[in-house]
Chain A
Amino acid sequence: MRQRESKATFWSALLVVLGIACILTPAIVLAAGGSGQGFDAIVRSIEVRYHAHATRIPFMGLISGIAGISTHGGVRGLHVAEFEHFRAGDEPDLNFDGAEFNALVEEHVGHGWQRMIRETGRGKEQTLIYVRQEGEHMGMLVVDLSGNDLDVVQLSVNPEHLMDEVSKHRHEHGRDHNADKDEDRDDLE
């Protein structure tokens, strides 16, 4: 009898805990969208602010690994999130507040990231490129909004490895890159 009573108490306590968790989960998710830093925080904050849904590319870890192997460590840590049909609420595109969007990304980008490029156009046109030093690698975070398409991409690049690979490809394809460059320089002389 006592055992049955303690079982009932256990189940009711569990139900209470689950109930509280169910009530609190949306609040926790929303709060997480407003705080935290880095790629995920940026994507979440955009989802929350603009009521949009990001499509994460499946098997990104695998793709990132393949990219690392094929570039001999030149590129790693790929993260991609894609928002299709991105709309800034019900407002017309021309009323899109680019400064607010920029501030939202800035708030969540995190420590060590510095904005290198910001390109803005009328309506929903904005490209933000952040970089940070990650040892021998350079971390790059790109937020590209073009009309209703928004992409957030993060990757880590080893410039020396990458340039070695690029120059190898140039030699293999017999492209005289220096001739192109000299032409450019002559044009400026």
Chain B
Amino acid sequence: MLALGMATVAMSAMGQDALPAPSPVEKALAEKASHVTEVTLDKNMLAFAAKFMDKEDEKDGTKEMIRNLKGVYVREYEFDKDNSYTAADLEALRKYIQTSEWSSMVKERSKSASEGTDVFVKLVNGQMEGLFVVDAEARELSLVLILGPIDVDKISSLGGTFGIPKDAVKSVKKAQKEAGK
């Protein structure tokens, strides 16, 4: 009942484009991880952080895109050994984001039950207004949540910026290419 309540609060917060409160699973993952990276940027911080970008980024519109984002939330967990997280943990993380506004864009699974990549997008009137990536590897788990208007053509520029792993961006680009075929 408590978990349901927390999920409802998180979902309603997500509906208002606020960054979510960490899911209960994240706390458990952080305790098991040997290394944790947390990056949290709200709209104001992003607008200010955009000023640190090159003038070239201004020309190609990346700076403008970052200025208009509503939030970036990145969590990276590194583990000492394989199978430190379970398929149930991953499922709970995926479910945490799933509301009617979000739809699955990529669902990639490897031989291992828990490893794989999931990309969820939030579409509002055909415009991408949110992106959520869960990238699970044997000893590494990354969560990336980007809220706000996203230009898929410029998404490459976010890889490696604000703690967003390049692999997460690669998955989105790959999905975009496949959707275009």
Binding site for B on A (CB under 8 A): 114-122, 125, 131, 133, 138, 159-160, 162-163, 167, 177-178, 181, 184-185, 187-189
Contact = CB atoms under 8 A, between A and B. Distances in A.
B51 A121 contact: no
Contacts of B42: 114
Contact of B48 (A125, A133, A163, A188): A133
A137 to B, nearest CB: 10
B36 interface: yes
Interface string B41-81: 11011001001111110000000000000000000000000
Contacts, number: 64
A160 B52 CA distance: 7
B159 A188 contact: yes
Contacts of A167: 54-55
Contacts of B48: 131, 133, 138, 159
A73 to B, nearest CB: 14
Contacts of B169: 188
A119 B156 contact: no
B157 interface: yes
Given A163-B53, A167-B54, A133 B156 contact: no
A98 B20 CA distance: 23
Nearest to A161: B51
B56 A121 contact: no
A131 B36 contact: no
B37 A119 contact: yes
Nearest to A119: B37
Interface string B133-175: 0000000000000000000000011011001001001100100
B86 interface: no
B38 interface: yes
Contacts of A177: 54, 56
Nearest to B157: A185
B12 interface: no
Instruction: Please list the 7 inter-chain residue pairs (A to B) with the smallest Cβ-Cβ separation, ordered nearest first.
Output: A159-B51, A188-B156, A118-B38, A159-B52, A185-B156, A121-B35, A120-B36
Given A159-B51, A178-B56, A116 B156 contact: no
B35 A189 contact: no
A117 B163 contact: yes
B100 to A, nearest CB: 30
B99 interface: no
A160 B44 contact: no
B167 to A, nearest CB: 10
8 contacts: A114-B45, A122-B35, A131-B45, A133-B44, A159-B52, A162-B52, A163-B53, A177-B54
Nearest to A114: B45
